[in-house]
Structure 1
Amino acid sequence: MAEVIALNTQYVGIGAGGSVPMLARVSFIDYRGHVVYDKFVVPSQAVVNYRTSSTGLQPQDLTGPDAVSFSDAQAMAAHLLRGRIVVGHSLWLDLQVLGISHPACDTRDVGLYLPFRSALKTPNQVIGLQTLVWQLMRRKIQANHHNPVENARAAMDLFRSHEAEYVFLPPPILDPYSHIHV
């Protein structure tokens, strides 16, 4: 089995009304919950909305001595993901804001995992991470702000709680000749 790593990001708003997301922080957690990488990202464009009420981000967070460029954060993320299974919640958003792709067969998105959604009687919608963690683990997260380290750790904990089913589900059998009728 490939090594497993959890990912979560924070973003700020750029563009008209701050509606376009731009990476502000990226965090990776290993299988045991230890921080592998956690960096603020220097904005490459003017930030319109820091989303401080939900992120807790301040302008100085993104310009401090430990902040890295977007290209450095993107390169490190690509390196950390290569050959690994990535765990997270709404991973498509994290990957999009990072500007990278990852094979779907190597992603484990706890927000899309049907047994979790079915357990909460909402099989047709993605449930927020905060709700999933509370309902399935009786643990509170995001008490003050969205914290990508805490969120990545929570996603990994959810994954670990059902790892056997997650990892060992047989892949769907695809018949390349199913469209041919004799």
Structure 2
Amino acid sequence: MAGITLNLNFNDHGHNERQEKGPGNSRHKQFVQRRRYLARRGFLNKKQNSGSSQKEVNKRKKKERSQASAVFPEFTTRHPELSINPSSSMQAHHGNSVTIKEFTVPSKSTSETGSSSVLQNPMKYVALDCEMVGTGPKGHCSELARCSIVSYDGDVIYDQFIKPVNPVTDLRTRWSGIKWRDLHKATPFKQAQGEILKIINGKVVVGHAVQNDLNVLHYSHPVHLLRDTSRIPILNQKAGLPENQPASLKTLTKLLLNREIQTGKKGHSSVEDAKATMELYKIVAMEWERILASRTAF
């Protein structure tokens, strides 16, 4: 028993392991180098390239999101604005163009006048015409005896005979069309004045020599809301008349509307005159409104 000797050689065993692992280590290094090369070239998919750090992944995702938002922007719905440039004659006069925001409302009378109803709001336009009688000595003072108001489409909004405040000394029937019986049960002036002003308040008032009508109403309408067809140069131009010379309503109606008004000895009709005035205005409404807008722009 005492003669038994154990001879254990650990060095040889370790040497053999190194020899066995040596080729494996070499192949592993080659594999790692090859995979890094492929990763740099971008040939590995996400699963194969699992060695990438989470930080790099997050950076890549963030970059992809930013690119996506740049390529696919958010769209919002916007309401278009109708802009109309002035005519060439306007640009030649002022040297530049003006953009006007306008609201288009179709009108049943558009086909009759051949014009387009491009206005801010046609419902805000009315035509006014008044007939006067004479009061005072020899009837030299003019007072309101009839008033008619029509809409943009020519519908009668108001038409009343009105009793003057002072005694009438001259009916002026040849021009006014007023007779004594018309004033017998006429609306008192103060009442009629209140009714008329309530209608035209805040509206664009179209009239022929409209200031005369406002004077007998004892009322001053805002100037920017007045359209006087006796003082629209382009209306005279279309009629072949001198631009700066006021023309009568009868003449303009004959030349531009091919219609006779104020004929005979029965006098004028304020309803007929108001309708004619509105029709004349509508012929030049678009162009005239642009001219007025361009003037206020400077």
Please confirm whether the aligned pair reaches a TM-score higher than 0.5, indicating the same fold.
yes
For 1:1-182, list aligned pairs within 5 A: 1-2=120-121, 3-64=124-185, 67-119=186-238, 120-144=240-264, 145-169=267-291, 170-173=293-296
Alpha-carbon distance in 1 for matches of 2:164, 2:196: 17
Structure number with higher helix proportion: 2
Q: Greater CA radius of gyration, 1 or 2? A: 2
My pick for the range that moved more, 69-78 or 113-122, is: 113-122
Q: Which has the higher contact order (CA 8 A, sep 6+)?
A: 1
1:180 alignment counterpart = none
Shift of 1:72: 1.2
Are the aligned partners of 1:23 and 1:41 in contact in 2 as well (CA < 8 Å)?
yes
Are the aligned partners of 1:108 and 1:166 in contact in 2 as well (CA < 8 Å)?
no
Q: CA RMSD in A?
A: 1.5
Shift of 1:26: 0.6
**Identity of counterpart residues, as a percentage?**
34
Letter in 2 for 1:146: H
Shift of 1:24: 0.2
Alpha-carbon distance in 1 for matches of 2:218, 2:164: 14
Give the structure-2-normalised TM-score. Answer: 0.56
Shift of 1:118: 3.1
Give the structure-1-normalised TM-score. Answer: 0.89
Q: Secondary structure at the match of 1:111?
A: helix
Alpha-carbon distance in 2 for matches of 1:70, 1:135: 36
Residues 65-107 of structure 1, C-alpha deviations (whole Å, 9 max, x = no match): xx21111111112111111101110000000011111111111
Residues 21-75 of structure 1, C-alpha deviations (whole Å, 9 max, x = no match): 00000100011111100000012211110001222211110122xx211111111
Alpha-carbon distance in 1 for matches of 2:241, 2:155: 32
Alpha-carbon distance in 2 for matches of 1:171, 1:16: 47
Number of equivalent positions: 173
My pick for the range that moved more, 151-160 or 165-174, is: 165-174
Structure 2: state its 5+ residue gaps. 1-119
Q: Secondary structure at the match of 1:7?
A: strand
Structure 1: state its 5+ residue gaps. 176-182
Alpha-carbon distance in 2 for matches of 1:173, 1:109: 17
Letter in 2 for 1:172: R
Shift of 1:173: 5.0
My pick for the range that moved more, 106-115 or 165-174, is: 165-174
Q: Secondary structure at the match of 2:231?
A: coil
1:179 alignment counterpart = none
